[in-house]
Amino acid sequence: MNTSPRPPTSINTPSYPTEFQQVILKKSQNFVGRAFVFTAISNFIQRYDRGYFTIIGAPGSGKSSILAKYVIENPQVLYYNAQLPGKNRAEEFITSISTQIETENFASLHSLLQQVSDKLEPQQKFIIAIDALDAVNRTDQTKGSNLFYLPRYLPRGVYFLLTRRPYLRKQSGLLIETPSEILDLTAYPQQNHEDANAYIWQYVNNDEELTAQLTAKSENNFMYLSQILPTISKEFDRLPPGLEAYYQQHLHKMIHPNSPSQEKEFKSSVLSVLVQVSSVISAESIASTIDADEYDVEEVLENWREFLTLQEMDREIRYSLYHSSFRDFLSKQANFG
């Protein structure tokens, strides 16, 4: 990583809250590769004098670890994790950021960033890293406002480094009119494959056959690998408790247990079809299978975007669950509600 962002001389290296320190250390352990991501971040910061850089990837694709490693390598970057309990609202975010730079004299996030920008030397950079933007709760925010009230415009020298799961543009929650770039991890299959190989290699004592087997089984998903590898075995049918709990969180988000029974029944029907297909399937085919309206099926699939892989075939979008082990987990559930 070539970028060494520095805050203004009047602001000290941030002191992260304890829970953030724990996440940063945990997520950066045994980190390997991802050079293509760090190069893209560096190039963006060198190309523009401000802006938003967003890393997008499916659950378990390594977004959080990438951000944690970046913070470890650039300790003056401010860090925030929206996925931790109690950290998904704008009030907590703004309070944490102001605390990390040791200032309370500001009227809004935009004014705070302007104060910082005014103190920057011409080549200085001020970067705020936010992990899991998809977890932000906007319930208490002003209608139509950006997630976390992130500014539409940024002052000179100020950058945001964001991670989030796949989303529909209309549901982005951000209106930005400043330099921005998105790096979608799925657009780099070869690099992801090589990094997964390197990650596995740390655990398997130069066993090329096992490395190849695990790489194929993982589908380049680092959450899967991080759970499987510590209890390494040549049998992968049994999910480690950590991975099972992770998938249970997915299911809970897709079909909340307290949802109305009719809604649960419909979503369960859609999910059952996705579980049964090992390739991809269209919304039209799902609707036909469960005798439902295609529009209603599409609406459910849109809300599940972060857990799905989309593929265009014959000018039609087709869907599949993002990872085969998640599909295997779902297939063993007695019910989804």
pLDDT band, residue 237 (cuts 50/70/90): low
CATH topology for 18-187 is Rossmann fold (3.40.50)
Range in 105-109, 142-146, 179-183 the model is least confident about: 105-109
58-97 residue pLDDT tens = 999 999 999 999 999 998 899 999 999 989 999 999 989 9
115-131 residue pLDDT tens = 999 999 888 899 999 99
Residue 8, pLDDT > 50, answer: no
* pLDDT the model gives residue 9: 38
Q: Which of 183 and 17 is assigned the larger pLDDT?
A: 183
pLDDT band, residue 295 (cuts 50/70/90): very high
- What is the CATH code for 242-331? 1.10.10.10
* pLDDT the model gives residue 257: 81
- Quick check: pTM over 0.85? no
pLDDT band, residue 1 (cuts 50/70/90): very low
Burial zone of 291 (CB within 10 Å; 0-12 exposed, 13-18 middle, 19+ buried): exposed
Residue 335, pLDDT > 80, answer: no
246-273 residue pLDDT tens = 898 998 889 988 888 889 899 989 999 9
Q: Domain limits of the chain?
A: 18-187, 190-236, 242-331
Burial zone of 309 (CB within 10 Å; 0-12 exposed, 13-18 middle, 19+ buried): middle
Residue 139, pLDDT > 60, answer: yes
Give the span between the Cα atoms of 307 and 326, in whole angstroms.
9
Range 137-153 average pLDDT: 89
* pLDDT the model gives residue 235: 56
Displacement of CA 138 from its chain's centroid (Å): 17
First-to-last C-alpha distance (Å) of the chain: 45
